[in-house]
């Protein structure tokens, strides 16, 4: 990473767009770079109006992702920790640049790495994740790219013992939906989760025990719905 920056750097769109960091993902019209801000790792996400991408509406997608992040955090479901944000203008159709800065939370790992790193409590991780996924879908939130790398696993900051509660933070929610009541889309989320996992043992656990725990923790799942039949028809997102 480049030299440590200050949070003051991100008080304007111009200075945020001038920042140079470690490229994590760069496309026409959007990018993610890793930077050090006040000694802590952050991820800077930037969207802009690219002349060759006029119909892809990257800036609008960025605003949508921010809305999804804010919705998760407002509803106690944990999205990224956004510490700075900004855009050009106040009328949506003339906004040409948008950025937001997200702080990395220490000790959080993508699901598969966390499952391997905490082998003694791998069952506990899946049990807590099943409850989290059930609560997520009961609330009407569908990630639409619910791959293991988009689920960061941590421990409750107040409990660091071996029996601590596991926490889950969702990232890359630019495709997400809220107020969704489509059980098939929710099944697609879980199919994406299973398909994204490389470890065969973990994948098998997700397709068996995890699904049973998830269904048991769904409070809005109508009686008589065959969720496994929906999973058989599900179409996983292939972005991993």
Helices (H) and strands (E) in the chain, counts: 8, 8
| Confidence band of 152 (pLDDT split at 50, 70, 90) | very high
Instruction: Indicate the pTM of the whole model.
Output: 0.90
Of 140, 144, 151, nearest to 189 (Cα)? 144
pLDDT at position 45, please? 96
pLDDT band at 27 (very low <50, low <70, confident <90, very high): confident
Asked if 43 contacts 85 with a C-beta cutoff of 8 angstroms, the reply is no
pLDDT > 80? residue 51: no
How far is Cα of residue 81 from the mean position of the Cα atoms in its chain? Answer: 11
CB 42 within 8 A of CB 103: yes
36 token code pair: 């050090």
In this structure, the number of other CB atoms found within 10 A of the CB of residue 233 comes to: 10
Identify the DSSP state of 27.
E
* Confidence band of 123 (pLDDT split at 50, 70, 90): very high
Look at 114 and 96; give whichever has higher pLDDT.
114
The domains of the chain, with CATH numbers, are: 12-103 (3.30.200.20), 109-233 (1.10.510.10)
Q: What pLDDT is recorded for position 1? A: 47
Mean pLDDT across 202-220: 95
């Amino acid at each position: 990473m480049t030299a440590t920056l200050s949070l003051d750097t991100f008080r304007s769109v111009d200075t945020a767009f001038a920042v140079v960091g470690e490229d994590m993902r760069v496309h026409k019209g959007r990018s993610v770079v890793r930077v050090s801000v006040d000694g802590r790792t952050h991820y800077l996400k930037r969207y802009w109006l690219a002349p060759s991408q006029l119909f892809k509406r990257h800036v609008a997608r960025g605003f949508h992702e921010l809305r999804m992040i804010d919705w998760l955090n407002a509803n106690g479901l944990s999205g990224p920790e956004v510490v700075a944000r900004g855009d050009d203008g106040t009328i949506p159709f003339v906004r040409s640049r948008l950025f937001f800065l997200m702080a990395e939370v220490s000790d959080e790992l993508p699901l598969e790495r966390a499952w391997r790193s905490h082998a003694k409590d791998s069952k506990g991780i899946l049990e807590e994740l099943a409850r989290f996924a059930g609560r997520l879908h009961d609330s009407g939130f569908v990630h639409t790219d619910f791959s293991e790398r988009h689920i960061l696993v941590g421990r409750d900051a107040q409990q660091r013992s071996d029996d601590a509660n596991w926490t889950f933070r969702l990232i890359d929610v630019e495709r997400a939906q809220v107020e969704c009541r489509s059980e098939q889309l929710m099944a697609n989320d879980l199919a994406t989760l299973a398909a994204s996992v490389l470890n065969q043992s973990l994948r098998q656990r997700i397709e068996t025990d995890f699904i049973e725990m998830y269904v048991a923790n769904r409070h809005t799942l109508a009686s008589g719905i065959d969720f496994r039949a929906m999973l058989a028809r599900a179409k996983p997102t292939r972005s991993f």
